[in-house]
Structure 1
């Protein structure tokens, strides 16, 4: 069916085709929603407070997003159907987990942005140092000569060209440089690039530039921790890939605490650099990205991140009763002795 057929299809059938059968679930009042939750064993101590929460927080995001850890499971670990909550689970606990995750996103994004700013600065500096001609980032010859990356390089140049074009008539740095200097320096341009664009940019660079940028991260790390690691461009690419996933989760306010990368980056060398068992790092979860950040942000910033996470865990520990804060931390990939790694 094409869009022009919409007028000839009953609304209900069209909605199912485009949104799935869940679209047809009938509207439920807050009172009805709470009644359904009670029927599944959820304890709601204060219906008025629960209603006020649902008035400000979307039911789907709150309940469907954070109920999993509170549901009964069978011997194989699968949630039983129809859904039933574990004994003693309260509405407040689900809401506390929701709030915990919101605070977690706010904490993590601060340090992901520190890395993002740092790698943008290093890429723009090293690229400009190597390629001094105007608009050098629009020339294919200034990127990798690997034939397997040709398509990616063309896509990168097209993305940058479109970005400049879209901002050419908008008041701002890009318009200023186009009007007054006939080109946009890369150190200005990188501020408009997403972390995904930056991942692409780094991947398209020739190996010598990639290695220089990786070394720019290794030098302060070695100095701060009194080590002599060789931080390779492949390892930096793995960190960048991991950060990109979590940056997007935070930016879109998606559920973070249990997020895992489907195909996480694996690096035995990063495990050696951090002196953390690879089994803890290869899962692509919160513990992975927190550990990876140690390599690419300042030592004092990483210690600040760890302090804030510990404070978050301590603050929410007494708020849960049917589950434990360690259950939440396990979902995040934090081993029992996680603090000893930092």
Structure 2
């Protein structure tokens, strides 16, 4: 508390002391003293502002958590169905030979022979890396995860559905990226993703990795309001597809609202009900409006953009068309 006061934050009394103990020093000050980067310090002057920021962040994570986990499971199931149908087998070795063959499709994506050769090598290398990842997953889970131990003890190959149970979302993203174009197209057609000027298989791949960063941040209770969890630049094609489908303004994933749009879109394409999709949008809208009144605009505006309402309105209009 002395340190906070020394940094210009008014804090005093047993009530605020208990709150600081509850949320911790990192979440109570270190994590919320800036937005996105440590050089962008927030104009904090009172501990109640920190508490409000913490509560804001926690409420958004609570809203997203269940939906993120359900979307992850539903997406894995759609991919699993397509892979089983394409390979005709649940065994990884067969799937590896028949379906995890994106390297065979590089020629049609690159007219230049040199580019095609480079892409072929990269896809082949990624495929080899995936096999190594799968072996490591089995090695690290065969004692602790019953779904793996069961097949080990029966001396049977571990089916692909069991491997999906132990894959991280990042592992899953690599698995998807290694699939043959025919499998990816089947998945995107099943999700009714638009074609036209878009490349649905590639865009879905990029969506998975964008979604992965948020999923990991929420699961590990990291701060998400300022999207500091992003591990890299998200392709413009993802934002362009959301803009086209939802009729919204630019989506660049520089604010958490854009990730709410992404989750809503995936829910819609995975055939969640309109009610479920609307509940996400409405729940987020209510949280945003609540903290717009609790935080000074100079702080609130660092996390929530001026176009948030119009984006949410566009998302709701999109849901009505489903």
Alignment TM-score > 0.5, same fold: yes
1:247 to 209, 215, 219: 215
Query: Which runs of no fewer than 5 residues in structure 2 stay unpaired?
Result: 104-119, 316-322
> Residue 309 of structure 1 corresponds to which residue in structure 2?
284
**RMSD (CA atoms):** 2.9
Distance 2:208 2:223 in 1: 20
1:246 deviates by 0.6
> Residue 263 of structure 2 corresponds to which residue in structure 1?
293
Contact 2:43 2:298 in 1 (8 A): no
1:66 to 32, 36, 42: 32
Would the alpha carbon gap of residues 152 and 108 (structure 1) be closer, same or farther in structure 2, given more than 3 Å must change?
A: same
1:127 deviates by 0.8
Contact 2:257 2:304 in 1 (8 A): no
2:247 to 253, 275, 279: 275
1:91 deviates by 0.5
Contact 1:137 1:186 in 2 (8 A): no
Contact 2:10 2:47 in 1 (8 A): yes
1:255 deviates by 1.2
Name which of structure 1's ranges 188-197 and 54-63 shifts more when overlaid on structure 2. 54-63
What is the CA deviation profile of residues 201-254 of structure 1, one whole-angstrom value per residue up to 9, with x for unaligned ones? 0001011101111122227xx9xxxxx997711121121111011111112211
Distance 1:329 1:176 in 2: 48
> SS at the partner of 1:141?
helix
1:184 to 155, 158, 163: 158
Contact 2:142 2:152 in 1 (8 A): yes
1:326 deviates by 5.0
Name which of structure 1's ranges 121-130 and 51-60 shifts more when overlaid on structure 2. 51-60
Larger Rg: 1
Contact 1:218 1:229 in 2 (8 A): no
> Residue 114 of structure 2 corresponds to which residue in structure 1?
none
Query: Is residue 63 of structure 2 the alignment partner of residue 107 of structure 1?
Result: yes
What is the CA deviation profile of residues 263-317 of structure 1, one whole-angstrom value per residue up to 9, with x for unaligned ones? 1221133321221223xx1234322221122332123322111121122123334
Query: Which runs of no fewer than 5 residues in structure 1 stay unpaired?
Result: 1-33, 70-76, 223-227
> Residue 15 of structure 1 corresponds to which residue in structure 2?
none
> SS at the partner of 1:66?
coil
1:151 deviates by 1.5
Distance 1:304 1:199 in 2: 27
Would the alpha carbon gap of residues 275 and 329 (structure 1) be closer, same or farther in structure 2, given more than 3 Å must change?
A: same
What is the CA deviation profile of residues 107-142 of structure 1, one whole-angstrom value per residue up to 9, with x for unaligned ones? 112222122011110111111111134523576423
> Residue 35 of structure 1 corresponds to which residue in structure 2?
2
Relative to the length of structure 1, the TM-score reads: 0.74
1:322 deviates by 6.7
Map residues 1-342 of structure 1 onto 2, 5 A cutoff. 34-44=1-11, 46-68=12-34, 79=41, 85=43, 89-133=45-89, 135-137=91-93, 140-142=96-98, 143-146=100-103, 147=120, 148-170=122-144, 172-180=146-154, 182-218=156-192, 232-260=200-228, 261=230, 262-267=232-237, 268-278=240-250, 281-297=251-267, 298=272, 299-321=274-296, 323=298, 325=300, 328-330=303-305, 335-342=308-315
Relative to the length of structure 2, the TM-score reads: 0.78
